[in-house]
Structure 1
Amino acid sequence: MTVAVGSGGRPKYLVLAAMIFAVSMTFIDQTIVSIAVPEIQRELGLSNTGVQWAVNAYLLSLAALFAFGGRLADTVGHRKMVVLGVVLFAAASAMCGLTPKGSLAEAWIVTFRAVQGAGGAIMFPAALAIVVQTYPLRERGKALALFFGVAGGLTAIGPVLGGYLTEWTWRAIFWVNIPVALIALVLVFISKPETEHRPARMDYRGLALIASGVALSVFGFQQATIWGWSNPGIGISIGAGLLLLVVFVQVERRTESPLMKVDIFRNRAFLFENLVLGIAMLVFIPVFFFGSEYAQIGLGKSAGESGVILLYFFLGFVVAAQIGGRMLDKGGAKRPVVLGCALSAVGFYLWAGKVTGLDFNAQQWLVALAGAGMGFMLGPASTDAVNRASMLSYGEATGITQTVRNYAASLGLAILGTISVSQFHSRVTSSLVAMGMPKGQAAAQAARDSQSQGGTGSAVTIPHFIRLDFAYSTRTVLYIMAGTMAVAAVVAFLGLQRGRQADPAEEAESAAAGPGKAA
């Protein structure tokens, strides 16, 4: 029996396992905190603004620093950056779990959530680049289908795990990362992955521009729910952030050793894969937050029960991810990406039509269908995008792709969150007025209800009209998600080319062998 080995002579599956353990923490932490938010807010006495930032500081840090992490991996070394990222992530997780009560709590947990994101941004591009360099192009689809399938599944498991750990202590949702980090470090030591990298100057000017642009633009959307769209600070923040991102692109084009080679977007396939990924990620991470909130408020479930509900999304996702990876290896990315986006759009649309019935039994397989659509497209789109890079730029290409993904996820959370709160506020106000409450008093009460975090864990203690009004606001969000994935399907259909991508090394060998050999 022959065991496939990587460049260092170690079995390739051992390298893959090491990288999956390394990045698993970053995926779990994208969703695990959302379940524990009510308990964290109650125990630490956080403001609504503070608890929002405890959730979103992590994603924002990932989005702002991914390009830096990818560039760092390609210039310093992929294995070094994986180890550094794992250690930084685990240390920040421990500090989050040790958040003190009192006046320091809010600044403490938000700061270390951002540090967690920095660790993930350093680790993830390096880990993905190691997998890409370990597996040849024709085997990469299966390997990365497993990589993204497990990682995406862990995103779905986050709320489940968070629900049950929170019943012990919310601090455990952070401490659970520590044993995972230790396993990852042991596997990295055993597998000793070997990759190529090239020393180069670091573009700190570009880092400052992209970090500031991402932070300001997302900050504006996130604060709109709290400050209101009439506040001039919202428009100024969003406008300044977007302007800085435009300046970043122009500066990078003229920089000798840029943080991000923006000219890579001239590659049509890379451009369209990232467009599709960006559109899809407006939905993928937010669905876990809104699904958890709907389960706790609309269905009146406990934190643990609401996490279990999202396992249906995971079930569809992980099965379809394996099929999508095989489709990529056999016929290229277009078919699984278009099919996945379309299936996901249908799943979200049908799910939206059932949420106001407040009966999850009528929704569960529609949730799985939406998850399956995401599973079909996410791995192939990400893999095909990274495959467009040269061997020495895999980390950089991953950094670009993940920047797009996390920036879009942050925007999706902020924008859909604003829409959800606005819809819920409007419906609760109307319901209270219909019950005889004066309009001004009803609006004030609705504002308090719409800013509350999470459910109470019991359908009995939540008035039926509140549950129904929240379900209607969730329906609006799901319909928007369906439309968003339909747009992604159209972009993929029109922008992606059919057929399997050729390996540049194989093309070069064929050309050198002459026309007869090539044929």
Structure 2
Amino acid sequence: MSDIRDPSSPGSAPPPGAAGKGGKGGAPNQTLALAAMLFAVSMTFIDQTIVSIAAPSITDELGLSASGMQWVVNAYLLSLAAFFALGGRLADIYGHRRIMLVGTLVFVISSVLCGCVPSGDFAQSWLIIFRGTQGVGAALMFPAALAVVIAVFPVERRGRALALFFGVSGLLTAIGPLLGGWLTGWTWRAIFWVNVPVAIVALVLTALAHIPNNPRRERLDVPGAVLVAVGMGLSVLGLQQASAWGWSSVATWACIAGGLLVLVVFWRYELGVEEPLVKLQVFKDRAFTADTLVLFFAMLAFVPVFFFASVYAQVSLSCSPNQAALFLLYFFAGFGIASQWGGRILDKRGARPAMKLGTALGAIGFALWAGELTDLSIHDQWPYAAMAGAGIGFLLAPASTDAVNRSIGASYGEVTGITQTVRNYSACVGMAVFGTILTHVTTDRVVQTLTAKGVPDAAAQDAARSISESVTGNPDGQQPSGEGPVATSIRESMQAIQLDFAEANQWVFYGMAIALAVAFGCALLHPGTRVTQE
């Protein structure tokens, strides 16, 4: 049986109620502390999905390319993945409360700047830059917030608190599409400004909770932080740009291979450092490794599905942003219900049964959902969308909680940094790979449709590339202007092109089903041991 150490053990943070250095004295208010951390992390989860709903409106107003819009989404996820390990380590060194506050301020200031993006040539760069700094703020905030929850709750109540933390924070992802659809009806800029009141509530509750800071005076591994950020950045850049550069491009493979090589260097460097950024010895725990692998393959689908399902609904189903948000609600209904059952399974039987059930159900759900996409009917799809969401709901909290419970020496910020780095890096890979698949398949299908209508091959190729790269919620917005025969043929083919886009999305959703099937195999590697207390 594996165990985790009590926080009062040597080398750990002071026990709950102790006024650590930087604290305000007296026992922290556990309820207020948990509420404050949930308000803080809600912003990070909402922002993983809220931009997906607003993507067509942002693209139309600012004139972004599809690649640019994907980078607006990916910049946030990439900076999360690149800096989560650093954020977890900083939280352990400088104090969880302090880093949580710094992360919240960085996040909300970046949000305001995202909403103030000017029109013009610099718009795309502006939005990508500040989405990236948003991700940095989230990477500082999340591991620190989780560590706060662990520190203020005693051992006998910590499991329930962690289940609530992961369950509620996961459910908050559902608010993104709904809130995004409603706010976009006013202005898409509001999807960023809405973080301001949420951040204010989080900061006020943090002050009222009297949370101790409890820093550890240890060295920060700066070379390790640089290596992991560079490695992830290069590899995701290659994957993201493969659709534009081509898979035969030297630049594509130079970025992918170079990034992976840097990550290997990071791994070897960390093994030889006295105070590493990440204690890689935790991977010797077979259960932790299985948890991490399940999270990696599941997250290939979990975050990308918001973007691709939203765009599919708006392009192929002709949905408005609000209707697209409701379309995604079926997925979250399944997720919300199953997440509660997943937490109960974890408490009674451990993480392995919940992960097996979740990955199997998710794989089947995504496969059945993919098969219905070409029917162009929400009515036929909602049961399978709910099933796919339920699969993710069953596995997310158990895998995350089980991994955190297996931390070394109660370095909860650090171990959270590992698991969240894996989760967000996986989301970046999923966005990049599935985006490439969608672009290529859409282009091929549209070329076939247009040439069958008598459009010359060269003109069909140009039109297909333009259509596949446009991300707009109004299919009419994709129709070319002009009165020439080519433009007329394309306009007359828009209904067929909507079906082409749906067929391209089938490839993406079948890919998500395969990712969950691989996650099922990883769940079988878990030894089934449960974490106990000494």
Normalised to the residue count of structure 2, the TM-score between the two structures is 0.90
* Equivalent position of 1:498 in the other structure: 528
1:478 Cα deviation from its structure 2 partner: 1.0
**In the TM superposition, what are the counterparts of 1:147-166 in structure 2 within 5 Å?**
147-166=165-184
2:504 aligned partner: 473
| Partners of 1:421 and 1:298 in 2: CA distance | 15
User: Hey, what does 2:136 align to over in structure 1?
Assistant: 118
Counterpart CA distance in 1 for 2:164 and 2:62 is: 38
SS at 1:85 equivalent: helix
**Match 1:184 to one of 185, 202, 211:** 202
Rounded to whole Å, the distance in 1 between the matches of 2:364 and 2:29 is 41
Is 1:130 the counterpart of 2:148? The answer is yes
Which residue pairs with 1:275 in the alignment? 293
Q: 1:244 aligns with which of 262, 272, 281?
A: 262
1:260 is the counterpart of 2:278: yes
Q: Is the 8 A contact 2:117 2:123 kept in 1?
A: yes
Instruction: Report if aligned partners of 1:145, 1:321 keep a CA contact under 8 Å in 2.
Output: no
* Paired amino acid for 2:512: M
Pick aligned residue for 1:334 from 332, 352, 362 = 352
Partner of 1:378: 396
Aligned mates of 1:159, 1:457 — CA distance in 2: 20
Letter paired with 1:247 = V
Aligned to 2:80: 62
Match of 1:347 in 2: 365
Structure 2 counterpart of 1:15: 33
Structure 1's 336 and 458: CA in aligned 2 closer, same or farther, altered over 3 A?
farther
Cα contact 2:287–2:528 (8 A) shared by 1: no
Q: Do residues 324 (structure 1) and 338 (structure 2) align?
A: no
Question: Aligned residue for 2:97?
Answer: 79
Once the two structures are TM-superposed, the CA of residue 352 in structure 1 deviates from its matched residue by: 1.1
Q: Which amino acid aligns with 2:364?
A: V
2:193 to 175, 185, 202: 175
Using a 3 Å threshold, how does the CA distance of structure 1 residues 141 and 470 change in structure 2: closer, same or farther? farther
1:390 and 1:192 map into 2 onto residues whose CA distance is 27
- In 2, the alpha carbon distance for the partners of 1:361 and 1:80 equals 48
Describe the shift of the 1:410–1:33 C-alpha distance in structure 2 as closer, same or farther (beyond 3 A). same
| Secondary structure of the corresponding residue to residue 353 of structure 1 | helix
Q: Aligned-pair distance for 1:389?
A: 0.7
Instruction: Give how far 1:490 is off.
Output: 1.5
Deviation at 1:457, TM superposition (A): 6.5
SS at match of 1:273: helix
How far 1:145 sits from its partner (Å)?
2.9
Whether 1:95 and 2:146 are equivalent positions in the alignment is no
Deviation at 1:102, TM superposition (A): 2.1
Deviations 1:113-163 (A, max 9, x none): 111000000000011112223334554443233222222222222122112
The one-letter code matched in structure 2 to 1:175 is W
Taking the aligned partners of 1:169 and 1:16, their CA distance within structure 2 comes to 32
Render the CA deviation track for 1:183-235: whole Å, top value 9, x for unaligned: 00011111123364422111111111111000000001111112222221111
Instruction: Please state how far the C-alpha of 1:236 moved relative to its aligned partner.
Output: 0.6
Q: Which runs of 5+ in 1 are unaligned?
A: 507-519
- Please say if 1:284 is aligned against 2:306: no
Distance (whole Å) between structure 2 residues aligned to residue 315 and residue 499 of structure 1? 30
Alpha-carbon spacing, 1:64–1:191, altered in 2? closer, same or farther (3 Å)? same
Contact 1:93 1:175 in 2 (8 A): yes
CA contact (8 A) 1:341 1:488 kept: yes
Tell me if the contact between 1:141 and 1:326 (Cα under 8 Å) persists in the aligned partners: no
Contact kept, 8 Å, 1:340 with 1:373, in 2: the verdict is yes
- Which secondary structure does the structure 2 equivalent of 1:9 belong to? coil
**Among the aligned pairs, what percent are the same residue?**
53
